[in-house]
Amino acid sequence: MKVLWIYAHPEQRSLNAALRDEGMRALAEHGHEVRLSDLYAMGWDPVVDAGDFGHDRGERLVVTRASKHAYTSGGLSDDIAAEHGKLAWADTVVLQFPMWWAGMPAILKGWFDRVFVKGFAYGVTDPGAGGRTLRYGEGVLAGKRAMVVVTIGAREAAMGPRGINGELNALLFPLQHGTLWYSGMSVVEPLAVYGADRLGDADYKDSAARLRERLLALPTSDPIPFRYQNRGDYDDDHVLRSELAPGRTGLAVHDARTA
Amino acid sequence: MKVLWIYAHPEQRSLNAALRDEGMRALAEHGHEVRLSDLYAMGWDPVVDAGDFGHDRGERLVVTRASKHAYTSGGLSDDIAAEHGKLAWADTVVLQFPMWWAGMPAILKGWFDRVFVKGFAYGVTDPGAGGRTLRYGEGVLAGKRAMVVVTIGAREAAMGPRGINGELNALLFPLQHGTLWYSGMSVVEPLAVYGADRLGDADYKDSAARLRERLLALPTSDPIPFRYQNRGDYDDDHVLRSELAPGRTGLAVHDARTA
């Protein structure tokens, strides 16, 4: 594999950093190549701004339009272009972060806000199919795999199907389905480390072993079977056809395992 | 009302800015007080860092511990303390943003990451109840109301109960339930403006009228009836009791309207 590992934690002496080092070492030991985007260490700027696109501040900024223009004309800022280079190189992306307020830290959310520009991660059309938009399973990033590695303060039960925090895959839906799958990437099940604020030695060793195992299995792990937009499951308004998951609502209907 | 309006859009000549101005004007005309946190205009820093807490960079940063220490000892950075002051003043909070990658722009996510510190928005215990943690309906921010105002590129059908993007309230669950309700605030239904990239004049007028109406009705609007953690609906593991929404899973079980 060629793995781009995106890491979003402010502290190099943390549980997250230890897991990152374990995981990257295991990949290297098995002959895989790894490149790291350590967002805090890079001083990554997460705020979308006219400067990202070389956009004239005297003119109204429309992010979709300005980002597509900058992308197609080679005018994106250097830090964004560098991440595009890493993504072009990678066949696999690991996204590692502590869950803060039921989602990604801002520095990682803003990696997507800035790097996933129009023409690259959305607004991609297929001239061969009447200009149909390529999204949800198709697009520039199709063929790549992604896995979330997340540490969570709560205990596992509170993140289960009826746990008060909401089930993990539902909380990750905006990232796993709305962002990664949207842009074409396949997403395998996330690896979660629960009770992260009070992890004992044995729990740490268990988590590190699970991480190594999941990473090495990545090339052959079945991805979450999210439904494709353009293969017949949705109608022209992008609503799931009534014969699929009949009578059901909620995020799970977009997973083809939901009957 | 005393309304804190938190605005997260990079452009002052945008649909979002026009709606913000309409909404703030309607509130003022009806005698309500409004304060604005315009995050882009303020140059808000969304990245949690040791400097937020006056934390010694030579020592390992544990965000929970460092933030609580800084909060209780008056050592939070000035920009965070200023937002706490506004929240203390407000009885109502409006959160306005364009939906980017199925969630908030990073600058707004990082408003919560930095402002919602331990001891203030989480990790609040009730000495009167055996040190029970006050969250989900209880806490420092209980008694305040919040409303999301969001512009969305997609059409409404694609954000409905079976729409491919996921239903709006499920996408907003990390914010509305996992953040606002978690910290004690009541949350009314969001106001969404769909098809925001190609809104005609009539659609704009309709959206502005809906916004004015919803804002002025805020004090008497029924909030989303999320379940309280500490009023008997959940067991000791914070799992919903089996007799409530029996046999069901998914985020909707945490809304008391789900039978």
For residue A131, is pLDDT > 90?
A: no
As a whole number, mean pLDDT of residues A223-251 equals 97
Give the nearest chain A residue to B12 (CA atoms): A60
Q: How many CB atoms lie within 10 A of CB A50?
A: 17
Strand, coil or helix: what is B32? Answer: coil
CB contact under 8 A, A64 and B109: no
For residue A233, is pLDDT > 80?
A: yes
For residue A144, is pLDDT > 90?
A: yes
As a whole number, mean pLDDT of residues A190-213 equals 96
What is the CATH topology of the domain spanning B2-224?
Answer: Rossmann fold (3.40.50)
Torsion, Cα of A201, A203, A205, A209 (10° steps) = -170
Query: Quick one: pLDDT at residue B31?
Result: 98
Q: Does A259 touch chain B (CB under 8 A)?
A: no
Is A87 within 8 Å of A117 (Cβ atoms)? no
For residue B132, is pLDDT > 90?
A: no
Which H or E element spans position B192? Answer: strand B191-193
The ranges assigned to domains in chain A are 2-224, 227-259
Q: Does B112 touch chain A (CB under 8 A)?
A: yes
Here the tokens at position A24 are: 């990257």
Is B150 within 8 Å of B98 (Cβ atoms)? yes
Query: Quick one: pLDDT at residue B196?
Result: 95
Complex-level ipTM: 0.97
Query: Quick one: pLDDT at residue A175?
Result: 98
pLDDT band at B145 (very low <50, low <70, confident <90, very high): very high
pLDDT band at B130 (very low <50, low <70, confident <90, very high): confident
Give the whole-angstrom CA distance, residue A97 versus residue A20: 10
- Angle (CA) B96 B101 B104, round 5°: 25
The predicted-structure confidence for B77-109, as pLDDT tens digits, reads as follows: 999 999 999 999 999 999 999 999 999 999 999
Is B176 within 8 Å of B224 (Cβ atoms)? yes
Q: How many CB atoms lie within 10 A of CB A248?
A: 14
Query: Quick one: pLDDT at residue B131?
Result: 81
Q: Which residues lie below 8 Å from residue B12, measured CB to CB, with a gap of 6+?
A: B41
CB contact under 8 A, A101 and B174: yes
**Nearest Cβ partner of A113 from B64, B100, B158?**
B100
The predicted-structure confidence for B28-60, as pLDDT tens digits, reads as follows: 999 999 999 999 999 999 999 999 999 999 999
Here the tokens at position A93 are: 């992306």
DSSP A1-47: -EEEEEE--S-TTSHHHHHHHHHHHHHHHTT-EEEEEEHHHHT----
Give the nearest chain B residue to A174 (CA atoms): B102
Strand A145-151 with A92-98, pairing = parallel
Query: Quick one: pLDDT at residue B210?
Result: 98
pLDDT band at B11 (very low <50, low <70, confident <90, very high): very high
